[in-house]
């Protein structure tokens, strides 16, 4: 992975009049992050900023990102902001092309934008809510990657990061929309990783457990191993730098995920019987 502090020295001139070595500074690496106005996306942006990276941040709420950039005293040259809803592929394509023109090809692209609410699969009105979840969490992820895949292949380097969830391991009652979307995100990133094998472009899937963000604030059920967003961002950064193919954060939830995978259906269903559910989308 590129380092924010790298530089390359050109050979000294053979001219007798030249007594200094010319130094060419390598541009700071660039990360493109969706869902950057809050939650995991904002925490990741802050951590990358601390590491000296240039930022290309995407979210619907431009004014929130502007306030955040001002609070961190980041210049527009270092941190460019793009207003877009990832559920609208044409908007993501437009801001991606704008990023390429203004900042160049990112070294890392992180699809962090996501939405979540409870659903009742017996209610027709909740079908629209499920569609919204899938449009954002799945098609939005693909739309965030597509503009950069061919240029990264041509360059022979780059990292695509999909933020999935431990909720994608098994389906939870009342969470059909979100769990299905995250299971699809995991499978999509796995397929993409195979497609890009040998190209120099890495695909990293990160499955968070319970992270303290606005998305989890209204969860009415216990959240084991609840982790601060800043801690998540630091561990995610390390995993991305190492180009790990799949990682669960915090690590304790990786063991929970393994247990969920092998738990017989009868025991799994009994364990979740009567569990409180996330509020449904307001209609």
Query: For residue 277, what are the β-bridge partners?
Result: none
Distance in angstroms (rounded) separating the CA atoms of residues 209 and 13: 55
**Per-residue burial over 164-196, b = 16 or more CB atoms within 10 Å of its CB, e = otherwise:** bbbbbbbebebbbbbbbbbbbbbebbbebbeeb
- Provide the token pair at 8: 């390359």
Cβ neighbour number for residue 152 with a 10 Å cutoff: 22
Task: Detail the DSSP E strand segments found in 120-200.
Answer: 158-163
Catalytic residue numbers, as ranges: 178
Distance in angstroms (rounded) separating the CA atoms of residues 166 and 249: 9
Query: For residue 25, what are the β-bridge partners?
Result: 7
Distance in angstroms (rounded) separating the CA atoms of residues 245 and 196: 12
Query: For residue 204, what are the β-bridge partners?
Result: 161
- Chain centre distance of CA 47: 13
């Amino acid at each position: 992975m590129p380092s924010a502090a790298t530089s390359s020295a050109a050979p000294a001139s053979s001219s007798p009049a030249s007594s200094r070595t010319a130094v060419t500074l390598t541009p700071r690496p660039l990360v493109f992050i969706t869902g950057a106005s809050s939650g995991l996306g904002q925490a990741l942006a802050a951590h990358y900023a601390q590491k000296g990276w240039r930022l290309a941040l995407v979210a619907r709420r431009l004014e929130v990102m502007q306030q955040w950039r001002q609070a961190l005293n980041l210049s527009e040259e270092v941190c460019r902001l793009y207003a877009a809803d990832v559920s609208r592929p044409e908007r993501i394509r437009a801001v991606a092309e704008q990023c390429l023109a203004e900042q160049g090809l990112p070294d890392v692209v992180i699809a962090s934008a996501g939405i979540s609410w409870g659903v009742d699969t017996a209610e027709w009105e909740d079908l629209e809510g499920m569609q919204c979840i899938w449009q954002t969490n799945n098609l939005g992820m693909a739309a965030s990657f597509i503009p950069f895949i061919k240029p990264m292949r041509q360059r022979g380097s780059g990292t695509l990061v999909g933020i999935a969830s431990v909720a994608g391991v098994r389906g939870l009652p009342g969470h059909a929309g979100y769990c299905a979307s995250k299971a699809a995100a995991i499978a999509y990133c796995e397929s993409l990783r195979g497609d890009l094998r040998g190209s120099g472009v890495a695909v990293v899937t990160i499955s968070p457990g319970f992270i303290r963000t606005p998305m989890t604030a209204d969860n009415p059920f216990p959240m084991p191993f609840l982790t601060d967003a800043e801690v998540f961002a630091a561990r995610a950064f390390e995993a991305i730098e190492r180009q790990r193919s799949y990682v669960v954060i915090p690590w304790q939830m990786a063991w929970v995920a393994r247990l969920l995978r092998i738990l017989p259906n009868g025991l799994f269903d009994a364990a979740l019987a009567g569990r409180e559910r996330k509020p449904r989308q307001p209609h």
